[in-house]
Amino acid sequence: MEESRKKNENQALDTTDQFEGSRPILRQKKAALINDLSGLGRCSLSVQLPVLSVMQIECLLLPTCVLSNHTGYPSFYLRDLTEDLDPMMAEWKKQNVEVDAIVTGFLSSEKQIHHVLHFLDLFQKPQTLVVVDPVMGDHGKAYPTITPALQKAMRTLTDRADVLLPNLTEACLLTDTEWKEQFSRIEIEAMAVRLTEMGARKVVISGIEEGDKICDCTLEKGRQVHWIESQKSAQMRSGTGDLFCAVLTGALLHDQSLEQAARMAGDFVRKALDVTEKLNVPDEEGTAFEMVLCDLCPQCEAK
C-alpha cells in the first residue's frame, strides 16, 4: 500500500529534460479543462477541478459558459462565453502555456466546437492526452441546449480524441443510432468500433445499465473490447459523467491503463452515488462527491 502510494505520488510529476546537478528537475502535470461553470448542481468544472487537484494535477480552466445552475433544473440562466474563448487562449499562448492533457466537456453551441478545434491547434502536441467528453444528453434524451448543428459538429471532435467518453445516449447521438431502452452488448460494441472508425483512438462508453449491473465498455482502436462490470447501486445523476471523466483523466496522467482508469473512475462514481443516497440529496443537486474525495488523494491517510 505504502509502495503504491509513493508510486502514485511520483506519477503526478514528470521529469523535464533539465537537471539540477545530476538530478532531473521534476514538473507537476497540467490539464486544461474546457467546460462550463455551473453555479448549482455539482457538474462540469465545479467537480472536475477538485477531483484533478486532489489527484495532484494542476488545472487550467477555460470556461465555455457560466450558468446559474445546470440545465437539468426546470430553468437556468446561461451567459455564453463563445466570444471570449479566442482572446483567452491567445493570452495563454502569450504565456507559453503547455499542458499534458486537454479535456473538453459541455459546449453551448456549434460555434464553440470550432474554438475548441482552434485550441487544439494551438496547444495539442504529439504527447498531449486529448480527452473528449461529448456532453449532449442522458437517458435517451438530448439536453435542451443541443441543436442538430451542435450534434453534427461534435463528430468533428471525435476525430481529435485520444479518449472519447460518451454515455450510451451520446454514443447513439454520435453514431446516428436510434435510442432504445435495451441494447445488446454486440450492438454497443459495434457503436464503440464505429466511434474508433470516426477517429477516436480509445473509447469508453460508460454507465450502461444491465439488470442489476452497471457496465463500461472500453475499446482501444484495433484491440479487443473489454467490459467492466459492477453491481448497480444508486441511480446516475447530474455530474456523474463529469466525475467519471476527471478521475479517468487523472488516472491516465498517473500512467494507468485505460481499463484501470475506467475501473477507478467507475468505482469512485459509485462510491459518490452511495453516499449521496445516504444523505438524501435531491437529484438535481448532483453527488456528494466531496464526502469521498480523499479516496483519490495519493497521500491521504484517511483511506
The alpha-carbon radius of gyration of the chain (Å, integer) is: 19
In angstroms, rounded to a whole number, what is the distance separating the alpha carbons of residues 39 and 66?
8
- By rule CB under 6 A, what string of x and - marks binding of each residue 202-241 to ligand PXL? ------------------------------------xx-x
Rounded least distance, CB 76 to ligand PXL, Å = 7
Rounded least distance, CB 240 to ligand PXL, Å = 8
Q: Is 71 in the site for ligand PXL (CB under 6 A)?
A: yes
In angstroms, rounded to a whole number, what is the distance separating the alpha carbons of residues 227 and 173?
21
User: Count residues contacting ligand PXL (CB under 6 A)?
Assistant: 15
The answer to whether the beta carbons of residues 233 and 211 sit under 8 Å apart is no
The window from 63-71, 86-94, 155-163, 266-274 that contacts ligand PXL (CB under 6 A) reads 63-71
67 vs 252, which CB is nearer to ligand PXL? Answer: 67
The window from 68-76, 84-92, 168-176, 256-264 that contacts ligand PXL (CB under 6 A) reads 68-76
207 vs 298, which CB is nearer to ligand PXL? Answer: 207
The alpha-helical segments, DSSP class H, found in the chain are 2-11, 45-54, 82-94, 110-123, 148-158, 168-175, 185-197, 240-253, 258-278
8, 11, 38, 158: which one binds ligand PXL (CB under 6 A): 38
Rounded least distance, CB 293 to ligand PXL, Å = 17
C-alpha cell at 18: 533539465
In angstroms, rounded to a whole number, what is the distance separating the alpha carbons of residues 115 and 137?
21
Burial class of 73 by CB neighbour count within 10 A (0 to 12, 13 to 18, 19+): middle
C-alpha cell at 199: 477517429
Rounded least distance, CB 13 to ligand PXL, Å = 30
The answer to whether the beta carbons of residues 42 and 238 sit under 8 Å apart is yes
Q: Is 106 in the site for ligand PXL (CB under 6 A)?
A: yes
The number of beta carbons lying within 10 Å of the beta carbon of residue 181 is 7
Q: Is 242 in the site for ligand PXL (CB under 6 A)?
A: yes
C-alpha cell at 117: 478545434
Residue 272 backbone zone (phi > 0: left; psi -120 to 50: alpha; other: beta):
alpha
The answer to whether the beta carbons of residues 185 and 211 sit under 8 Å apart is no
- By rule CB under 6 A, what string of x and - marks binding of each residue 167-206 to ligand PXL? ----------------------------------------
- By rule CB under 6 A, what string of x and - marks binding of each residue 115-154 to ligand PXL? --------------------x-------x-----------
67, 81, 102, 146: which one binds ligand PXL (CB under 6 A): 67
11 vs 71, which CB is nearer to ligand PXL? Answer: 71
Residues that bind ligand PXL (CB under 6 A): 36, 38, 43-44, 67, 70-72, 106, 135, 143, 238-239, 241-242
